Amino acid sequence: MGLRLLVHDWGFWTKDDLYKALYAEGIELFISYGLDGRVTQKEEQDKFKEEFEKRLLEREYDAVFSINFTPLIAEVCNRNNVMYISWCYDSPAVGGTMEQRMYDTNRIFLFDSSELKRNQKVGVNNLHFLNLATNVNRMNSVKLLPAQKEKYSSEISFVGQLYSRELQEIMQLLGPYESNFIQSIVDMQMREQTENIVGKLITSEIVEAITSEELIEKMSKYNKLYNVQEGALRVSTLQLFLLHSATNRERLLLLSLLSKHFKVKLYSPDKHDILNEVEHCGLVSYTDEMPLVFRCSKINLNITSKSIETGIPQRCLDIMGCHGFLLTNYQEDLFTEFEENKDLVIYRSIEEAFDKADFYLKHDGLRRKIAENGYKKVRDKCNYHVQLEKIWKKTGLK
């Protein structure tokens, strides 16, 4: 294709698949390693910008490329009039100041349509909707040894974080009034499967009411998650914390309910007391083990983090890409690529999740058919080649 890209590598976990796809397109890649664009202190930010600019000016590039949007890179690219493409796999993804978001050199690709609309509403253009991608060839090339079948087999599996530890630590810092006030909002969000209401409910008055030095310090400990800057708690930070809390609650409730009736395996660094009938299997590697989990489980659960409002998370594509049967919470953007009950199955309440799990465990043939349909859709429509083509077209690089 003849393009020359400078790629910012911050350690994102889909890099092997992305680089392989980019090389396959004939793109000349130069990878910038070892710089962390998520730093929050001014001194460190200036240092990052200086170093990145040095690398950018080493040769002429058609564009800079990164997974997720890095405002500091946007600044450097804008200063040097170089196109900056960011393909975001987190949500919310677009941070930084309004000025940084609105640079003419930005080309931001979001997989969550509601985040897209929110930004467009406040005048951030140069945004495009683009679903994520997966590498079905790599995932299906992982060999399943006979001894591993027993290890990874289950009626139901869930791979993901529970966020329990940090949530507990943070909630403990709040008094009984404040923690219960927050909890009522979390419970409300948990009941709302199709809408992010935390955004409407968390106001600056609430943030002010619960802020304390200890709370800020504790949340700073999880800075990469909560991006606490300059010792202040922002509305967006508290919103994210509450969304994680609601996710935590839903995951615990659903896993607990299912485990009382079915064999459930949990692949997570976290544990929780109420999951005493769940088999805790610890972490699995993304490349070597996760495909086997998805392939060997009769039902693969996806319980999307509430911070992703409408988008299709990477997990869904990975599950289907491994011929796994997917039972997922409702996410509006699923319908941009898939058909419900044909390619995957969706639940809209915990009770419905239970009913559907029960049904599909009793209907093997139907379950396998749906898994196969889902796999074909992901193979044909959500692969890196197809999605990258959309990027080149939108950016005019093709």
Partner 1 sequence: MKILMITYSDKLSAHIAQCFETCGQEVILYEFPHDIDTHQFVVLDETNRADFSNALKNEVYDVIFSIEYIHEISMYANALGVIYLSWILYLPNPDIYRSSVGNLCNAIFACDSTVVELLKSYGAENAYYLANAAISLGNNDYKSKYGASFIEKITILSEEGPFGIESKLSAASRGYIDGMAHCQRLLHDRDVISGNIPQNVRDELLDKYRILTPTDVSVNIDELINYNYFRPYITMQERRIALASMKHVAAVFSDIPVDILDTEEKKIESEEIMKSEEKIKSKEKVESEETLETEEMTGLEENEQLQKIQEKSDKWKENFHDYITDISKRKEIYAQSDINVYITDRAMPSGIAHQVFDIMSSRGFLLMSHQNDMAKHFVCGKDYIEFSNVTDMTQAFIEYGPKSDLRREIAENGFNKIKKEHLMIHRIQELLSVF
Write out the residues near partner 1 by the rule CB under 8 A: 175-185, 187-188, 191, 197, 200-201, 206
Residue 197 or 207 with smaller CB distance to partner 1: 197
Query: Least separation, in Å, of the C-beta of 200 and partner 1?
Result: 6
269 Rama sector, left if φ>0, alpha if ψ -120 to 50, beta otherwise: alpha
Residue 164 three-state SS: helix
- Residue in 250, 340, 353, 348 with CA at minimum distance from that of residue 299: 353
Residue 42 or 200 with smaller CB distance to partner 1: 200
Query: Least separation, in Å, of the C-beta of 40 and partner 1?
Result: 22
Query: Least separation, in Å, of the C-beta of 181 and partner 1?
Result: 4
Query: Least separation, in Å, of the C-beta of 196 and partner 1?
Result: 12
Residue 60 or 205 with smaller CB distance to partner 1: 205
Query: Least separation, in Å, of the C-beta of 191 and partner 1?
Result: 7
Q: Where are the alpha helices (DSSP H) in 288-363?
A: 290-296, 314-321, 350-362
Query: Least separation, in Å, of the C-beta of 194 and partner 1?
Result: 12
- Number of DSSP helices (H) and strands (E) in the chain, helices first: 19, 12
Query: Least separation, in Å, of the C-beta of 185 and partner 1?
Result: 5
Query: CA 327, 162, 309, 78: dihedral to nearest 10 degrees?
Result: -130
Residue 235 or 361 with smaller CB distance to partner 1: 235
For residue 203, what are the CA distances in angstroms to 35, 244, 298?
Answer: 35, 17, 43
Query: Least separation, in Å, of the C-beta of 190 and partner 1?
Result: 10
User: What CA–CA distance (Å, rounded) separates 66 from 87?
Assistant: 6
349 Rama sector, left if φ>0, alpha if ψ -120 to 50, beta otherwise: beta
Contact (CB, 8 A) for 284 and 301: no
Residue 194 or 341 with smaller CB distance to partner 1: 194
In sequence order, which residues have a C-beta less than 8 Å from that of residue 251 and are 6 or more positions away? 158, 160, 162, 303
Contact (CB, 8 A) for 73 and 95: no
User: What CA–CA distance (Å, rounded) separates 387 from 88?
Assistant: 12
Looking only at Cα atoms, what is the longest distance across the chain? 61
Residue 31 or 188 with smaller CB distance to partner 1: 188
Rounded to 5 degrees, φ, ψ at 60 are -90, 135
Residue 137 or 180 with smaller CB distance to partner 1: 180
Indicate the DSSP class of residue 336.
G
Neighbouring-strand partners of residue 84: 64, 106
For the sheet with 127-129, list strands across it.
Answer: 28-32, 4-8, 63-67, 83-87, 106-110, 127-129
Residue 191 or 342 with smaller CB distance to partner 1: 191
Query: Least separation, in Å, of the C-beta of 231 and partner 1?
Result: 16
Residue 203 or 223 with smaller CB distance to partner 1: 203
Residue 33 or 177 with smaller CB distance to partner 1: 177
Query: Least separation, in Å, of the C-beta of 197 and partner 1?
Result: 7
